[in-house]
Amino acid sequence: MDIPKNHPYFSSGAGAYASPAGVRAADKVAGRDARQCGSCGKPNTIACSLKVCTKCRSAWYCDRECQKKDFARHKKECAGLAQAAATGPSVAKR
């Protein structure tokens, strides 16, 4: 994907783009990163770099406050997601 020179992001030449807010991997800037905060819904951007739940690695949050707000809902699925990630994909034997 070519980013025009007048685009707010410009190539740093190493598979990343830079803006006044910071540097981000090219695949994140190009829109291939569809993650959003599990609490407030903010998209993953340079200005709002999301953090992953360290247990299940499936939920993403803006900050600790958003993680706390979503905890009651997320805790119901977190352990199951963590276990599924640890065991890998299930394959049915024929």
Which element (helix H / strand E) includes 84?
helix 64-87
| pLDDT tens for each residue of 16-75 | 555 555 555 555 554 546 789 999 998 888 778 899 999 998 899 999 999 999 999 999
Q: What's the pTM value of the predicted model, to 2 decimals? A: 0.56
What confidence tens digit (pLDDT) does each residue in 33-45 have? 678 999 999 888 8
pLDDT at 52: 92
Dihedral Cα 24, 10, 38, 58, nearest 10 deg: -40
Q: How far is CA 55 from the centre of its chain?
A: 15
b/e 22-46 (16+ beta carbons within 10 angstroms → b): eebebebbeeebeebbbbeebebbb
pLDDT of residue 8: 47
| Tokens of residue 26, six digits | 């090219």
pLDDT at residue 87, as a whole number: 82
